Structures are given as structure tokens and as C-alpha cells.
Amino acid sequence: SAEQQLNNIKITITAGPTREAIDPVRYISNHSSGKMGFALAAAAVAMGADVTLISGPVQLATPIGVKRIDVTTAQQMHDAALAQATQSDIFIGCAAVADYRVAEVAGEKMKKKADSALELKLVQNPDIIASVAALTAKRPFTVGFAAETQNLLQYAKDKLARKKLDLICANDVSGTALGFNSDHNAVTLVWQHGEQALAPQPKAELAKAILQHIYAQFSAN
């Protein structure tokens, strides 16, 4: 049945933000709540999939039937994702991964210096989804998200090509009603030979629609 069309399919999903330490009490992160990735995990289990959810620090309960791996940093998410990816049929990168981390994390709480600005040197984190898509053996069908505040479709198409993804969910995050931390979202799915807009709706409903499209393309591959 349609409900169980992901039977025997293993899906790994990343969700939430990553958190990059500055010192023992401070960090760099973003507004991702994990809701979109957790909704995808719950919908995938309902469709019969075997689901592993790799989550950054969020305040959400694990959907029933989902295997959850908690991580903090982008490097930890990268290592967990690569370990799962080669055992997965489909990989969905919904996490808002920090592109940069602090070059040298201070061992002790940094002290404020009178009358001077502070400069932090940042270095790039590994690109998790590009690493997954670059696998040569046991590469899963690889789906990314693109969170953009401008030039949504162009930037999403650039990421689809540059990261060598099979499908990308272009996510307009310029407002607060949709996207980060909201219970609602809308995306335009973009793949090499087409695109499909999905209307604003609760993340639980949108997750089902996204998975139907992923399954259609995965099984046509």
C-alpha cells in the first residue's frame, strides 16, 4: 500500500543545528529547531522505512520507531553521517550545519579586554552532504535542503550541481512564518530535469509530500 511504500528502505536523516564552541561557555549556532528533520523522520517511519536520525542539539522527543544519534558539532555530524550513509538507501540532509568553526577553541572562559574589539578566526567545516554524494561505493540517493533568504531557486540549483545531489528542497527562510523554528514550511523541489513547488503547510504534512517525491525519483533511478 502507499502507506508502506518505504518498506525495507533504510533512510538516514540529519536534523537541527550544529553548535561550534568558542570557549567552555560560548558557541556559534543558528535558529534550526530540528522540527523539519524530525517531521521527515516520523513520516518516513509511518511509510515503513528503517530510519536513523542524526540530530544536533534540539528540544524534541524522538519519534517512535526512529533510531536517534545525538551530536553537537559539524565534525561529529559528519563522522556519524558518513558511517550511516554507506548503509542507507536514501540520505536526507535537513540539518543546518555550521559552515565554519572557531579555529582555536579557548580552553578557559575568554576574558573581556577593556576597550578593544575581539576577532575570532573561523575555519571551514567539512561539507557533510557533499561528502555523502561523493561516495563511489554504496552511495545513497542523496537529498539536500537549501535555506536561502534571496535568489532561492538559483542558489538551490547551484547547490544541487556543486554538491552533486539527486534532489534539493529549496527553502525560503526570509520570513519567520515558514522555515526555521516554525511549525509550517514550504519548499520547491529541484532536480536535474525539473522542479515542483509544494505549498505552505504544517511540517508533518510537507514531510509526507517530500518523501512521496523522493520515493518516486529514487525508485525511477
Residue 32 or 84: the one with the smaller Cβ distance to ligand PMT is: 32
Residue 63 or 179: the one with the smaller Cβ distance to ligand PMT is: 179
Residue 181 bears catalytic tag: no
Handedness of CA 81, 83, 86, 87 (dihedral sign): negative
Between 188 and 207, how does the x/- string for binding to ligand PMT read (CB under 6 A)?
--------------------
How far from 10 is each of 13, 77, 97, 99, CA to CA, in Å?
A: 10, 18, 22, 27
CB of 83 to ligand PMT, least distance (A): 15
CB 74 within 8 A of CB 54: no
Tell whether residue 41 is a contact of ligand PMT (CB under 6 A). no
- In the list 180, 190, 206, 217, the residue contacting ligand PMT (rule: CB under 6 A) is 180
DSSP H stretches of helix in 47-197:
74-85, 128-133, 152-162
Residue 166 annotated as binding site: no
> What is the footprint of ligand PMT within residues 100-139 (CB under 6 A)?
125, 127-129
> From CA 14, how far away is CA 91, in angstroms rounded?
8
Tell whether residue 19 is a contact of ligand PMT (CB under 6 A). no
Burial 66-87 (b: 16+ CB within 10 A, else e): bebbebbbbbbbbebbeebbee
Q: Which are the catalytic amino acids? A: 30
| Binding site members | 93-95, 99, 109, 126-129, 145, 159, 163
Which residues make up the interface to ligand PMT (CB under 6 A)?
16, 32-36, 74, 93-97, 99, 125, 127-129, 144-147, 159, 171, 173, 179-181
Residue list, annotated binding site for CTP? 93-95, 99, 109, 126-129, 145, 159, 163
